[in-house]
Amino acid sequence: MMRFSAPVLPLCLLIVLFSPIRSHAGQTLGNTISTIERDLSTRPESTAAGPAATERYIAGLVSASLEVFEQSRHLDAPYFGRSAGLDGRPGLFNPDNIYRSALLSGEGRYRITGKRGSHALFTLQILDAYPVIALGKNLAVIDLDALGIRAGEDFSITLGGTRAEGRWFALHPSARAVLARQTFTDWNTETPSTFRIERLDTAASPVDASVPGASAADYLAAASRLWNSGLYARVPVNAFPPPRPSDTAAGGLGGQQSVMARFRLDVGMALVVSVRRSAARYQGIQVGDPWFVTPNAVDHTASFSTAQAAVDDDGLLRFVISDTDPGVANWLDTANTREGFVFLRWQGLPAPLVAEDAPRIEVVPLSELRAHLPAGTRWLNATERASQTVSRRTVPLRS
């Protein structure tokens, strides 16, 4: 049975973890973790990812679930929480984003205040479910740029209650969370936003953990059901479907288009992904392991925005996916796995993507890679690769 190491989790979560918290069915949190460990050890994802990645994933699943559990105890005093750590976070988080979420009541009234950073996009999504433990429906998207809020400017946004002056938005009665997404294109020059949330109406009633589905064990079990529901087997291998709008009924960001495939590499092989550079305010690509987890974005070049990637003379971005360094600048490092996911996103598009914008995948032998790339492809020596790796220490989620 797999066991994760204590340093992965913050001390406050370790206290919760080893407390005798029970679900309404009498299942302790420890037993829930053991059940998940046993279940996941039998999955094909476990074989493909390996024991170390599976261990990190289980630890990340526990950590993220307990963060939501902690927030749900304090609906009277909400705050924007964030998942800790670089490893194991469920949901194929985008290294170009900082995700922070606060839990809401649809009957409440809230004020979000802050200062806009210089990063590319800033959106607030209102969801009808708690993040991590459910995908939820996208009830609304508030684009701060569309409101005229520019870099360096202070802002104040009111949610719910009676109509107010200024930037006010109604809350649907089913609202349960607000997800703040800060998107970056250049990690080294763009700055993050600072912001907070406060509840303006009468304090919410305390949460009763004896209610079915409201304990830490219940939250973790729900998260496991969500993220381990067989996605890996349903995604096409080494081929992309057409890009499509994100599914707002399942928590996707409105206005975003995306495309996803699984990659599978034989020994000595690589995948070349070719895609046009678009006019989107943000365009990015990333890889993830079989558990739908992004590799450590500091130690691995597991993602690229258009600001980070080398563009070929014909206007195409070409990325090489392989488990060993092929020497190209646009190397998507799979972190020593030969199977996983590749995901592309476009946000802030002036017009929907057309057929010519669809990415393509070509499977090629690493020994013949140069023959499949343009003459002007940018190649890196060992010193240049080390410099590229150092530049990734400024990953936004560390801000």
Q: How far is CA 55 from the centre of its chain?
A: 19
Residue in this structure with the two tokens 């305010």, named with its chain if needed:
281
Whether 122 shows a pLDDT value over 80: the answer reads yes
User: What is residue 85's predicted lDDT score, i.e. its pLDDT?
Assistant: 65
Give the least confident one: 30-44, 209-223, 376-390.
Answer: 209-223
- For position 354, what pLDDT does the model report? 85
Q: Which amino acid is at 360?
A: R
Backbone angles phi, psi at 44, to 5 degrees: -60, -30
DSSP-derived letter for residue 387 is H
* Average pLDDT of the segment spanning 231-252: 83
Mean pLDDT of 144-163: 96
Count of beta carbons in the 10 Å neighbourhood of residue 382: 9
The mean pLDDT of 302-312, rounded to a whole number, is: 95
Q: Output phi, psi for 285, to 5 deg.
A: -140, 145
pLDDT over 90 at 123, yes or no: yes
**pLDDT attached to residue 250:** 63
Span 152-163, mean pLDDT?
97
Mean pLDDT of 311-321: 96
What is the C-alpha to C-alpha distance for residues 260 and 240, in angstroms, rounded to an integer? Answer: 6
First to last CA, the chain: 35
Across-strand partners of 328? 379
Query: Span 42-67, mean pLDDT?
Result: 94
**Position 18 confidence tier, pLDDT thresholds 50, 70, 90:** very low
Average pLDDT of the chain is 88
pLDDT level of residue 84 (50, 70, 90 thresholds):
low
Q: What domains lie within the chain, and their CATH numbers?
A: 231-398 (2.60.120.1600)
Distance in angstroms (rounded) separating the CA atoms of residues 138 and 132: 14
Summarised one tens digit per residue, pLDDT across range 184-195 is: 999 999 999 999
Is the confidence at residue 209, as pLDDT, over 90? no
Higher pLDDT, 86 or 91: 91
Looking only at the bridges linking them, the beta strands covering 257-264 and 244-245 are antiparallel
Pairing of strands 282-288, 303-305: antiparallel
Q: Residue 16: what pLDDT?
A: 37
